[in-house]
Structure 1
Amino acid sequence: MKGILAPRYERNYKTISVEDQKKLADSTIAIVGCGGLGGTMAEEFARLGVGRLILVDGDTIDETNLNRQLFSTEYNIGAKKVEAARQRLQAVNSSVELTLIDDWFNQDNAADIFSGANLVCDALDSIQRRIDLEQSCHRLNKPLVYAGIAGWFGMLGVSLPGDYSVLKVFKDGMENDRGMEKIWGNPAFTPWVMSSLAAAESVKIIVGREPALRNSWLQADLLYMEFETFKISK
């Protein structure tokens, strides 16, 4: 219990109990994508005290990432995103175990990538890859938290094994799977807000609380500060 009672976690305890802190310390969360969404999720989980993070991204940092991606700096352009994640997260919380996958997720490597994970977070920007990820999580009996961003707008949901919420939400957009953030842009505030909301839902799942967004999704409009939840038909 000594590690979870460290002063670094004292400010968690009015919200997260000591027993919940232990559950976080004993948990493994996989994040698919280490960009604007995934990188911020990873740092929040590290600061919260999640014991192990599996980070999956085969990309490198470029100058266009500097406006929003937490792991990108002017000094590491060209570096692998997972290596930039290692440097940042070790400086934030050296007790977190990091498993870095410098590769792209696909259904063939999912079982190996997500081995030991209690939860998977989707920080992808392709509808087909999101659906593939949900199918893999269903097959492997892993809960999934998924988030998306574009311009002023964000969305967030939870898909437990068998729900197929991602498929239900995104299937009608398959013909226009061009990546809406590439069309509408991606300022820093949108992924950072949605990452924090995703982290909150993830913590609930890890500690055994009911997630608010199962069989529904949250839509956020940061231009007009409007948040609305939509039910997904079963």
Structure 2
Amino acid sequence: MAELSRALFNASYQGSHPRTDPRRLIKDREIGRIAEEFGISRNEAEIAALEAEIAPARYVRNMAALDCKDQIRLLKSRAAIIGLGGLGGYVAQTLARSGVGSLVLVDGDVFEQTNLNRQAFSTIRTLGENKAEAALEKIRKMNPSVNLEWEGVFLDKDNAGPILKGADVIMDCLGGLDNRVLLQQAARDMEIPLISAALAGFTGHVTVVFPGDQGLFPLIGREDDSSGEGVETDLGCPCPPVMLAASIQCSEAVKVLTRKGQALQNKLLAFDLLDNTFQVFDLS
């Protein structure tokens, strides 16, 4: 361990940004080199650097808001992202850029032409590809220190347990109502916090459901009562509210994982971008 710390220090440099804390930084290529030299993952190398108060340069702009311990918590965390379409694409890339150390990408769908207006990993080249697999390839290039798994399947009663096992937080990025209750029930049974978002037109909402909370059950009913595409089929799904809801979801995830701030537990944040209203409703 002493040799690893020494190697990290020797590869680091003095940061010049006035708000940088810690002041010593290490570049991405040096993280990769040292990880290979010591036979550890890049994720482990980043954690070791932060424990030695050396910040990976890619996270330096996090450091005024998150300290080394916060960033370590993120790097040690595992998030399961259910749905890699509109919400899930932006959630996946934001959590990867934020330094959440392990992501499980789950979606059985493929990209089609109608996804091009809003889905982060939807391009002309990815049309026809599985959404989770396409996300995997993009995120690897974005942050190679993130541990990635993907499941090209839709969530169901049989696979929910194995897929969600070990997650510190679950991101509900499903479209419509199908499987939302199943996902919340699985999160409750496994005692994993769930961060859920939904969209319709220029409106959307986000909530955080901790184990034991009622969450969305009062709004969308139990499993036998909730299915279908949801109101977004009638009101459309433009890109701006998708990106906003995904950003709020990720902000809540960072708060839950680092134990900072006040999460939207038992609260529903609803927004309407057409009249610029944001309201928080009590769900308890």
TM-score range, shorter chain: over 0.9
Query: Closer, same or farther in 2 for the Cα pair 1:133/1:176, shift >3 Å?
Result: closer
Query: Closer, same or farther in 2 for the Cα pair 1:83/1:176, shift >3 Å?
Result: closer
**2:283 matched to which residue of 1?**
232
Partner of 2:127, secondary structure, is coil
**Pairing of 1:76-225 with structure 2 (within 5 A):** 76-171=126-221, 174=225, 177-209=228-260, 211-225=262-276
Which blocks of at least 5 consecutive residues in structure 2 are unaligned? 1-47
Normalising by structure 2, report the TM-score: 0.78
**Deviations, residues 6-28 of structure 1 (Å, cap 9, x unaligned):** 11000001111110000000000
Residue 171 of structure 1: how far off its partner (Å): 2.3
Residue 128 of structure 1: how far off its partner (Å): 4.6
Partner of 2:221, secondary structure, is helix
Corresponding letter in the other structure for 2:243: W
- Assess if the C-alpha contact under 8 Å between 1:169 and 1:232 holds in 2: no
Corresponding letter in the other structure for 2:163: I
**Deviations, residues 143-182 of structure 1 (Å, cap 9, x unaligned):** 000000111000000100110211122229x478442211
Partner of 1:53, secondary structure, is strand
Distance in structure 1 (CA, Å) of the matches to 2:228 and 2:108 = 20
Q: Does 1:15 align with 2:65?
A: yes
C-alpha root-mean-square deviation of aligned residues, in Å?
1.6
- Assess if the C-alpha contact under 8 Å between 1:165 and 1:215 holds in 2: yes
Distance in structure 1 (CA, Å) of the matches to 2:234 and 2:106 = 24
**2:49 matched to which residue of 1?**
2
Which blocks of at least 5 consecutive residues in structure 1 are unaligned? none
Query: Closer, same or farther in 2 for the Cα pair 1:187/1:26, shift >3 Å?
Result: same
- Assess if the C-alpha contact under 8 Å between 2:179 and 2:227 holds in 1: no
**1:31 matched to which residue of 2?**
81
The structure showing larger relative contact order (alpha-carbon pairs under 8 Å, at least 6 residues apart) is: 1
Distance in structure 1 (CA, Å) of the matches to 2:193 and 2:88 = 16
Partner of 1:2, secondary structure, is helix
Query: Closer, same or farther in 2 for the Cα pair 1:128/1:58, shift >3 Å?
Result: closer
Distance in structure 1 (CA, Å) of the matches to 2:185 and 2:215 = 10
Partner of 1:67, secondary structure, is coil
Q: Percent identity?
A: 37
